[in-house]
Homo-oligomer: A and B are copies of this chain.
Amino acid sequence: MADPRFFSGRGPLPLGRVAAIAGAGLPDGADPDRPVEDVAGLDAAGPAHLSFFDNRAYLDAFRVSRAGFCITRPAMAGEAPAGMLVLASPEPFRSFCLAAQAFHPPAAAVPGVAPGAIVDPTARIDAGAEIAAGAVVGARAEVGPRVRIGANAVVGEAVAIGADTVVGPGASLSHCLIGERVTIYPGARVGQDGFGFAMHRQGHVRLPQLGRVIIEDDVEVGANTTIDRGAGPDTVIGRGTMIDNLVQIGHNVVIGPGSVIVAQVGISGSTKLGEFVVLAGQSAIAGHLTIGAGARVGPQAGVVRDVAPGEDVIGSPAVARRQFWRQVVAVARLARKESG
């Protein structure tokens, strides 16, 4: 259960409302007014909690769970322990996430400029926005309704931030336009110069970076992630893309909507990703490449050529996943043979 020191949920909520929010079906005869206290995992849940079961690896935990309510696929309902009320959903995890959001909505903005925040007089701050202690907002910046700017964050000159966006503590933004419902996690760096210069023995010569960063609606940018602004074109993060911590995104990169970029990935300059691309942790994409829609790149992969839509690659240099595993097996066999 969530520690009340840090979390104050909205529960209890009536079962019928929870099911409706979750897009899950109640069994016949269930009382829609039964109170649900909160959400919890299968192990931690008690009789007043809602849990979920989707991955069969957790079947044993499901069978002995004390959860009073549980979302699962219709086909799995028969495995439920006695006393558990089962809510049916074709997408149990998604349903659970929706329910959990109802119990634990994002914190609301506390409108106003906190003591110790420094806001340039030419910045335009919506009356419903929150500027926390120590935050700095530069000249001509625009901060939309219900935006929350965290403690000691820095919003650079002329940066625009759409409604309901959250900027975490200590993050810094410059030369960027940020959409609505975006979350920038603590310490993220958005909009600084890209890494562009002419190499030369007498001293590398920097190229002024004259593009911007455009972050569309519903994007998340992880803690201490860095997104450089474009060199001339813009760096663009498409709507709904989720970026984890410590990711590096070079100048002019364009990431399509709905992509998922796991921690410590690096994307080199001018590479374009289609929609719904998944890059697993610590993978890297060389510059000036095209990664097609729906492509998947495995953990620690090093991609040095274009990837077709829907292709699944891994390895360094990255190859098709099936080929990679064949190589792994072949090399293991070769080594055994030689030492045997």
List A residues at the B interface (Cβ < 8 Å).
1-3, 5-7, 39-41, 44, 91, 93-94, 96-98, 100-101, 103-104, 114-116, 118, 132-134, 136, 138, 140, 150-154, 156-158, 168-172, 174-175, 183, 185-187, 189, 192-193, 195, 197-201, 203-208, 210-212, 218, 220, 222-224, 226, 228, 232-233, 240, 242, 244-246, 248, 250, 258, 260, 262-264, 266, 268, 276, 281-282, 284, 286, 299-300, 302, 304, 316-317, 319, 323, 326-336, 338-339
Contacts and interface: CB of A to CB of B under 8 A. Distances in A.
A64 to B, nearest CB: 17
Contact of A266 (B1, B40, B94, B264): B264
A158 to B, nearest CB: 5
Given A101-B208, A151-B136, A335 B323 contact: yes
Contacts of A250: 263
B300 A319 contact: no
A333 to B, nearest CB: 7
A319 B332 contact: yes
Given A268-B281, A338-B330, A185 B192 contact: yes
A43 B98 CA distance: 45
Given A44-B232, A200-B94, A201-B276, A263 B248 contact: yes
A11 to B, nearest CB: 12
30 contacts: A3-B212, A5-B158, A6-B157, A6-B175, A41-B232, A44-B233, A94-B200, A96-B198, A97-B207, A103-B208, A118-B133, A118-B151, A134-B134, A150-B154, A152-B154, A156-B169, A168-B172, A172-B186, A174-B186, A187-B189, A187-B226, A201-B276, A204-B258, A223-B226, A226-B263, A266-B282, A286-B299, A326-B338, A329-B338, A330-B339
A177 to B, nearest CB: 8
Contacts of A246: 224, 226, 246, 248, 266
- Chain A facing B: main interface SS: loop
A106 B304 CA distance: 34
B224 A187 contact: yes
A94 to B, nearest CB: 4
Given A151-B172, A223-B228, 19 more contacts: A2-B211, A39-B208, A44-B232, A97-B207, A98-B205, A100-B208, A101-B208, A115-B118, A116-B118, A168-B192, A174-B186, A187-B187, A195-B222, A199-B260, A246-B248, A263-B266, A266-B281, A266-B282, A268-B281
A55 B57 CA distance: 48
